[in-house]
A and B are shown apart, each in its own frame.
Chain A
Amino acid sequence: MTAAPVLSIRGLTVAFGTRKRPTPIVNGVDLDLVPGRIQGLAGESGSGKTVTAMSVLGLLPRTAQLGGSVRLGETELLGLRRRDLSRIRGRRIAMVFQDPSASLHPQLTIGHQLTDHVRTHLGLSRTEARQRAVDLLERVHVPDPADALGRYPHQFSGGQRQRIAIAIALACEPEVVLADEPTTALDVTVQAGILHLLRDLALERQLAVLLVTHDLGVMSAIADDVAVMRHGTIVERGPREQIFTRPEHPYTRELLTALPESDFTDERARTALAERDSADDPEVGP
């Protein structure tokens, strides 16, 4: 809408299982990530939202069968060799995970992890890299950054670890950030701070952010645009306010009705919800 997208996903399909009998997980997803905007991808467990994010970075197991297209600027990412992809990963596209421990090495100091990254990708000198690391930690509000460089991940609280993981993600000035449930493992009081940080960073650094979360409260707080995913397809998409106040798809209406902290309610969605678990789920076969 505003600017040209840096990352375009077109007709993305992902299937697992054997070639003869693949189990489709994602069925034709289109998404555009625009600089300075946060694109939300909402859905419940099993909707395929995480798989969508992972496929952008080639982080899926080799058995995954991918189709469609993922373009970063002029580069087609699907089918790219692992080596080329790993050059893009971290450098141009960074990822923030639910569990910050996943992106932090437990036995290396924070400083080591931050400067290593910067030096390999940007070719900075040791002192330059160190200064950059201090700046980054300061930016993500880790107290006493110079001291923090010499410490190990386990010496920080969960919230601080997530801030450090974000600093590492930003270290090489990526254009795109994929954030997969970045606050789900955190307490609400800690989550609030991380949400502020993500919102500010997206604007200030003109990051194109894909925010994957099941938490519609989080979505409502920081996403600019929202896509709702179910069974591997996007059932509804639009600007945040429209999705939250005038949802059209019955599934979106159900999700919002079920939420105590949302203002939206719909009687038909309420009855549909009540029947969801009780009904014999066809996907569960004896």
Chain B
Amino acid sequence: MKPRRLRRAVFARIPRAWLTPLAIIGLVVALAWIVVAFTASSFIPFSPTEQSLPRLQPPGGEALLGTDGLGRDVFSRLMAGAGVTIPLALLLVAVSTLVGVIVGAIAGFFGRWVDEALMRVTDLVMAFPTVILAMVIAASLGPSLFNAVIAGIVVSWPQYARVTRSLVLSLRTQNYVVAGRLLGYSPLRSLLRDILPNIAGPVLVLAALDIGTAILLLSGLSFLGLGAQPPTAEWGSMISEAMRNFDSWWIGVFPGLAILTVVMAFNFLGDSLRDILDPTSQTERESAGVAHAPAQAAGSDR
């Protein structure tokens, strides 16, 4: 009886939208990869960089997923690679979000020439194709994973600035924001207390959806040799190295699958987060009851 009640209590607190199969798959897979990323070093059987095994062994032997052209264990490199790409992708998204939100909030709140100037800069960045711009920046900074992250930040903050700016513009005229100003809130306080907390939802969704893109970008740059440098175990560079031993499919396929699963997982996660936070989907849910369910009941579901 008791565990059942507990389970019901737990599930009651989880919004319905979370319980779709895609959301659950996304959550489980993404969490699994994050755990791997931070614990890989403790469970991998071989060093990801040491060339200690016979070369080009197929999967199933001593090396679970085979070895590459330099006699390194693909499984160990795969797991270690998670620890390289995922944390850096998270960092990339976090910094871009921060920069974008700050720029967008300033533009939206102060308006006039400040807005004009900042938005022209974002337009400038957004006018270039993302990947090509990132390549140019990474190449000019010199090939390294850290520089790839910087290139990623430079190309992805403008979208956050755009979204933040438009949200700030629409919230600025909300009654509660005006009420705060009439009570003597300074513009900065109004921004920090009344506006930003209320745009956090949509910005988080954007960020969640962007994690997959960031992983692709970092792996892509590494694949092109502009990111991680040998012998670092990075998925993109592993695929790139696999091209030298085309017959040994396992060297490239497993990192490819890793990228596929992690990107899809974060996208599923972002999508369901959007469904949960999207005000229109919420109204839809309420409107079932609404049209004339007690107004309070509509308000009570979070």
Residues on A lying within 8 angstroms of B by beta carbon are 16-17, 23, 25, 45-51, 54, 61, 63-64, 231, 281, 283-285
How far apart are the CA atoms of A63 and B292 in the complex, in Å?
Answer: 14
Q: Does B295 contact A (CB under 8 A)?
A: yes
How close is A278's CB to chain B, nearest CB, in angstroms?
Answer: 14
Q: Can you list 18 A-B contacts with CB-CB less than 8 angstroms, sorted by A residue number? A: A16-B288, A23-B297, A25-B289, A25-B292, A25-B293, A45-B292, A46-B292, A46-B294, A47-B292, A48-B292, A49-B292, A50-B291, A51-B292, A54-B291, A61-B287, A284-B297, A284-B299, A284-B300
Report the nearest B residue to A286, measured CB to CB. B300
Q: A45 and B288: CB pair below 8 A?
A: no
Most buried by A among B287, B291, B292, B293: B292
Q: What's the A-B contact tally at a CB cutoff of 8 Å?
A: 42
Contacts of B291 in A (CB 8 A): 50-51, 54
B296 within 8 A of A: yes
Bound Cα distance from A63 to B294, whole angstroms? 18
Query: A283 contacts which of B287, B288, B292, B297 (Cβ < 8 Å)?
Result: B297
Question: What secondary structure prevails in chain A residues at the interface with B?
Answer: loop
**Chain B residues in contact with chain A, CB under 8 A?**
287-289, 291-297, 299-300
Given contacts A25-B293, A50-B292, A283-B297, 14 further A-B contacts (CB under 8 A): A17-B289, A45-B295, A46-B294, A46-B297, A48-B292, A49-B292, A50-B291, A54-B291, A63-B288, A64-B288, A283-B296, A284-B299, A284-B300, A285-B300
| Chain B nearest Cβ from A60, distance in angstroms | 8
Task: Tell whether, in the assembled complex, residue B296 and residue A281 are in contact, meaning their CB atoms are under 8 Å apart.
Answer: yes
Complex Cα distance, B297 from A50, in Å, reads 16
- Identify B294's interface contact among A50, A61, A283, CB under 8 A: A283
Task: Sort A-B residue pairs by CB-CB distance and give the 5 closest, nearest first.
Answer: A46-B294, A284-B296, A283-B296, A16-B288, A16-B289
Q: Point out the residues of chain A lying under 8 angstroms from B300, CB to CB.
A: 283-285
Give the Cβ gap from B299 to chain A, nearest Cβ, in Å.
Answer: 7
Closest Cβ of chain B to A14, distance in Å, is 9
A47: chain B residues within 8 A (beta carbon): 292
Complex Cα spacing A48 to B294, Å: 8
CB-nearest residue of chain B to A47: B292
